[in-house]
Structure formats: C-alpha cells, structure tokens
Amino acid sequence: MSQFTRRDFLATSIAAGAAAAALPTSAANAATSHAATDLVTLGKSGQKVTRLAFGTGSRNGYVQYSLGQKEFSRLVAYAYERGIRFFETAEAYMTPAMLGEALKPYPRDSYQLMSKVTTDPGVDPAARFDEMLRIHKTDYFDIMLLHWQHTGDWVETTKPWQEGIVAAQEKKIVKTRGCSVHGLPALREVPKFNWLEVAMIRMNHKGTIMDGSVADNGQPGNVPEVVSHVQQVKKEGMGVISMKLVGEGHFTQRSDRQEALRFAFRHAGVDAVTIGFKNTQEIDEAIENINMAYA
C-alpha cells in the first residue's frame, strides 16, 4: 500500500504555512483561532459539534469500561468542564449505559451525542432504536451512524436500516444520519451516496489502523486514497468525523499524535475527530494538540 510520507507531510505543512503568511492579518488570525472546543458545522446537515469528541470505544470500549462508573463519570465531567461537548459511543461498545449515566447531570441540549447502530439483518430498526434510547438514557441522538460498514455492497444491504434511521428522524429521535466505514471497498461508496449527511472515516498520517484494500487486515492504509475520498465527500456537502487519530494507541510518542491531528485537520480537512480517553492527562493533551494543529 502507498503511504503519505514524512516528506509529503512537511511539504504540505510548508505550503500551508506560506499560504497563511500571504493572508491579510485579520484572515491569518482567523485561520489560527481554531480550538478543540469550538463548535463546527458538519456539512449541509447543520449539526454543530465540538471539534473534539470524547470517544468511548477504545478496544470496543473495554478501556473506558475498565475504569468503572465512578472514575468514568469523573472523566466525562472533566472533559465537559473543559469545553468538550461531543460524546461518542456505539450500541456494540461496552460503554453506552455508562456514558448515559455520566451525562445525566448535564442539560441534554448542552452536548451532542453520537451513537452507531449495528446493521444486523432481520432486526426491526424501530425496536432497536427504542432499546438504544433506553440504554443510552437519552430522548434522542444528535447523530446516528450505520456502524462498521466494510464491504462494497453495504449501501444495498443496509437499506432497511437507512429507512429505519429516516423514520427515526421523522420522529425526532435522530437528528443527523451517517455511517462509519472500515476498508476501502466500503469507503469508495461514500462519495456517491447522497443519503449520507455525515461520514466517519479513519485518518492519520501513517495509515495505522486505517483503510486498506480490505477491512481491518492489519496492513497500513492507503493514506492518499483515503484523503482523496475525504476531500470529495466534503465537496458533496457531507460532514467528516475522523477516528484512529492516535493509531488505536500505537502512537506512543506525542510527536506522532500531534502530527496525526495536524494532518487530519490541515491536510485532509476533516471537521471533527473522536479520541478515546482513559485519564485527564490524555484529555488535556488532545485539546492542546488540536489547538496547536492550527497554530
């Protein structure tokens, strides 16, 4: 697989810096004022979220689940107090009920909740969404994604779930719809699927745990192709949320975590990112790294 090299990254960074330098002072200041806790709009959906989301799916949520409810709630409170108002989970994770409990102290309209539904065949979507509302302890979802789409025929095979999400939107228990994709066969279908309002796409500068020729094969992802799809879906008016910004824990050096975020925002042009946390230091670092990505 081809990878975006460090030389490519540095060249892109230099070009971006030169472009910023050529801007009028007011425009240059605006270009560097982005913050992790700013609200951004996800494409034509109109849905606003903070640029950084608190992720709860590290190793399927086991990392967060192992903290226990008390410590996990303390971590969510710490993130909320520092301005993170976007929280992400999935029906298949170990964390939806824990996240619902942790968010109970806060007004529902003060944060955004994104979840993902498993698109099992032969299941009633309406019943599944009712169950998810109960488990998540919420009245509605700001964003609902079709979870883990990884085959080239997913647009066809998930039609009952697409219809279910539209019905949930009509009932106002889902505000915004989208998908999360794993692997290039699935990702290649995203730009031409106008039903989508939001796409969740894996992204980092090294292609670690990122989209390759098949889903999750352990090989480096094809970074240039993934970036091209991100940029195309943005042109189509979709919002883009990215995951795997710390390479699912593989980026042990902070310099890699910084570079991944700078790459995602400044080169690929994603709107928001989700990062899983297990302590307050990781929250502080992520906020700082995103703020630095635009500096």
**pLDDT per residue as tens digits for the range 100-129:** 999 999 999 999 999 999 999 999 999 999
Residue 1 within a domain = no
pLDDT-wise least confident of 13-27, 101-115, 275-289? 13-27
Residue 275 within a domain = yes
Distances (CA, A) of 71 to 75, 120, 244: 6, 33, 24
The domain containing residue 67 runs over which residues? 6-17+35-293
Contacts of 91 (CB under 8 A, 6+ apart): 115, 116, 117, 118, 128, 132, 135, 147
pLDDT at 289 over 80: yes
pLDDT of residue 219: 78
**pLDDT per residue as tens digits for the range 218-231:** 778 999 999 999 99
Looking at the structure of the chain, the number of domains it has is: 1
pLDDT of residue 265: 98
pLDDT of residue 33: 57
Residue 76 within a domain = yes
pLDDT of residue 247: 87
pLDDT at 14 over 80: no
Residue 22 within a domain = no
The pTM of this model reads 0.89
Which CATH number characterizes residue 208's domain? Answer: 3.20.20.100
- The larger pLDDT score, comparing residue 12 to residue 258, is at 258
**pLDDT per residue as tens digits for the range 60-71:** 999 999 999 999
pLDDT at 25 over 90: no
Residue 189 within a domain = yes
In angstroms, the CA 201 to CA 234 distance is 12
In angstroms, the CA 160 to CA 112 distance is 25
Give me the chain's average pLDDT, please: 90
In angstroms, the CA 98 to CA 64 distance is 9
pLDDT at 12 over 50: no
Residue 23 within a domain = no
Give the pairing of strands 52-55 and 48-50: unpaired
Q: What is the mean pLDDT of residues 34-53?
A: 97
**pLDDT per residue as tens digits for the range 191-206:** 999 999 999 999 999 9
Type of residue at 171: K
Residue 224 within a domain = yes
In angstroms, the CA 123 to CA 282 distance is 38
Residue 24 within a domain = no
pLDDT at 23 over 70: no
Residues facing residue 177 across a β-bridge: 144
- The larger pLDDT score, comparing residue 247 to residue 95, is at 95
Q: What is the mean pLDDT of residues 184-195?
A: 97
